[in-house]
Amino acid sequence: MKTKKKSMISADFDLKLGENVVSLSSSVPNARVTALALLPTYQILTDKIVSHAIEQYESSERTISCKAGCGACCAQPVPVSTLEAEHLAKVVQKMPISKQAKVRDKFSESLAAIKAAGLEKSLKELPNLPPEQRIALGKQYFSLKLDCPFLENQSCSIYQDRPLECREYLVTSDPQHCADLNDKEIKHIKLQMSLVPAIVKQSQESQITQSKGWMLMLFCLDWAKKKPIKVRKKHGKLWFQSFMSEATGRDI
Ligand code: SF4
């Protein structure tokens, strides 16, 4: 009798997070896939690392300021990997028509605002610029006070799909400092492990054409429209191994 191949397999591993070793399990596709198929795995893993950091922090009776309904940081420029850009374009595509139209309008309004401010070209070039210039440009972008197109009533309307950068943003300071982008006063919780560099690296690896692997989220819909980008396929286990090697700095 032919047995059906499992569509997902489980990868069990120990992760060193600060002083603790945490046993984790992730589901990965049991087939040759594009790296995009692994995005839900990376999102869940990020959430586990973030939850661990929150537990550690709150166990000593300290509190984190980030709460549902606080969109104080959501006018800051958000970098997304090209894998996430592709995913977000699909998320928008699947929205009901009226909601989709609203979100697309917000993207267009913000794009028109950065164009009018003469920032469009340099913001598109952001991944190629040195860090100091990126910070300076990020501040110019922020001065335009453009809410993220996904922000609705101070809440994230794509919470389950939000980028890793948003998932990893945790502060203990007054939300007003996030709203003012007051770098000196924003107190971030430094995660014991960030998966953002690993997803950017995997974005680069997954594309046959050369790319920096990330962009400002504001450009994701236009970028996805202008595809096709040629992407590689590998077994889910291999994508996951190279992702975790990048994240932990160890051969896996
Ligand atoms: S995606 Fe969601 S969490 Fe991230 S900036 Fe936009 S509204 Fe905020």
Q: Are 126 and 215 in contact (CB under 8 A)?
A: yes
Q: Which atom of ligand 1 is nearest to the CA of 165?
A: 4
- The CB of 156 under 6 Å from ligand 1? The reply is yes
pLDDT at 130 over 70: yes
Q: Are 137 and 119 in contact (CB under 8 A)?
A: yes
| Atom 4, ligand 1: residue with shortest CA distance | 166
Span from the CA of 162 to the centroid of ligand 1 (angstroms) = 6
Q: What is the mean pLDDT of the chain?
A: 94
Task: Please give the average per-residue pLDDT across 177-205, as a whole number.
Answer: 95
Identify which of 43, 148, 167 to mutate to test ligand 1's pocket (most ligand atoms within 8 A of the CB). Answer: 148
User: What's this model's pTM, rounded to 2 decimal places?
Assistant: 0.94
How many other C-beta atoms lie within 10 A of the C-beta of residue 216?
Answer: 20
- The CB of 88 under 6 Å from ligand 1? The reply is no
Q: Which of 100-109, 195-204, 223-232 has the lowest mean pLDDT?
A: 223-232
pLDDT at 241 over 90: yes
- pLDDT per position as a tens digit, 66-110: 998 999 999 999 999 999 999 999 999 999 999 999 999 999 999
